[in-house]
Structure 1
Amino acid sequence: MSKVKKRIRPTREQAQEFNRRLDAVVEAGHTNKLYCDCEVCQALAEQAELMGYRTDSTIKRPSEKWDSRKRTYERIHQIDAVKMANLAGQGLTSAEIGGKMHRSKGYISKLAKEFDIKIFTKKRGRKPCH
């Protein structure tokens, strides 16, 4: 069996420095940027490597795989929105549309909000007796 490198606990000063750099990244507004090469983010990455939180400090660029996944995801949403608009035009509810498209009711509601599609609801209550 190969030996696993044990991570040692950082000192108080190292932890404070790490938190200070993390606060600087948050103040810069780069919390949602996974691949950032600014000085603040690079300093945080190097500190994380020094403390043993990361194995390498170089931040790699994303591969084309993620871009193609995003494009595929958006294309599927557009196709589903067109199908959903056609079924909504027939007067079906979101549950019935989900059943016909083999999608969940929540997904149908999310697409309706995203593409601004009006889905009618069936009237509930008693039928008129006359």
Structure 2
Amino acid sequence: MVKTKRIRPTKEQAQELNRRLDAVVEAGHTNNLYCDCEVCQALAEQEELMGYRTDSTIKRPSEKWDRRKQVYERKRQIDAVKMANLAGQGLTSAEIGGKIHRSKSYINKLAKEFDIKIFTKKRGRKPCH
């Protein structure tokens, strides 16, 4: 693997890059990684010309990531249902975590997100009578 040294851009090239960056910010496309509008494509070509990017074509994300996100959300919903059933039986978050094989912090995070009430064991001395 031969590593090529990046040549420092000229003043004009740096100004052109900054101008195109400003255009992208004005268009409001700062958080869109896969934008294929004219402004973003021009910026990508300028970056390739200056050696900051290896290819100017902006690739679309594969469907694999959407599928993984859907599977993750589905698992969280299933865990929330199981957790709600066990919480209704009066178990604590540690006991629920042991039953469904998840961590206590994950259980507490899900409980907060799905607004599930989990009981806590009372601590301290038991009354004598």
The reply to whether TM is greater than 0.5 is yes
Q: Distance in 2 between matches of 1:66 and 1:78?
A: 19
Which deviates more, 79-88 or 40-49?
40-49
Q: Distance in 1 between matches of 2:23 and 2:121?
A: 53
Which deviates more, 94-103 or 82-91?
94-103
> What's the CA shift string for 1:59-112, capped at 9, x where partnerless?
111221112111111111111111111111111222221222221222212212
Are the structure 2 counterparts of residues 7 and 84 from structure 1 closer, same or farther at C-alpha, using a change threshold of 3 Å?
same
Are the structure 2 counterparts of residues 19 and 113 from structure 1 closer, same or farther at C-alpha, using a change threshold of 3 Å?
farther
Paired position in structure 1 for 2:105: 106
Q: Distance in 2 between matches of 1:15 and 1:125?
A: 68
Are the structure 2 counterparts of residues 22 and 120 from structure 1 closer, same or farther at C-alpha, using a change threshold of 3 Å?
farther
Which deviates more, 31-40 or 82-91?
31-40
Are the structure 2 counterparts of residues 11 and 120 from structure 1 closer, same or farther at C-alpha, using a change threshold of 3 Å?
farther
Cα deviation for residue 58 of structure 1 reads 1.0
Q: Distance in 2 between matches of 1:8 and 1:35?
A: 27
Provide structure 2 residue ranges, at least 5 long, that are not aligned to the other structure.
none
RMSD over aligned CA atoms reads 2.2
Three-state SS of the structure 1 residue aligned to 2:102 is: coil
Three-state SS of the structure 1 residue aligned to 2:83 is: helix
Q: Distance in 1 between matches of 2:71 and 2:38?
A: 34
Three-state SS of the structure 2 residue aligned to 1:21 is: helix
Aligned length: 127
> TM-score, with normalisation over the residues of structure 2?
0.79
Are the structure 2 counterparts of residues 17 and 122 from structure 1 closer, same or farther at C-alpha, using a change threshold of 3 Å?
farther
> What's the CA shift string for 1:21-70, capped at 9, x where partnerless?
44543454433322112233223322221222211111111221112111
User: Which is higher, the Rg of structure 1 or of structure 2?
Assistant: 2
> TM-score, with normalisation over the residues of structure 1?
0.78
Are the structure 2 counterparts of residues 122 and 30 from structure 1 closer, same or farther at C-alpha, using a change threshold of 3 Å?
farther
Are the structure 2 counterparts of residues 63 and 124 from structure 1 closer, same or farther at C-alpha, using a change threshold of 3 Å?
same
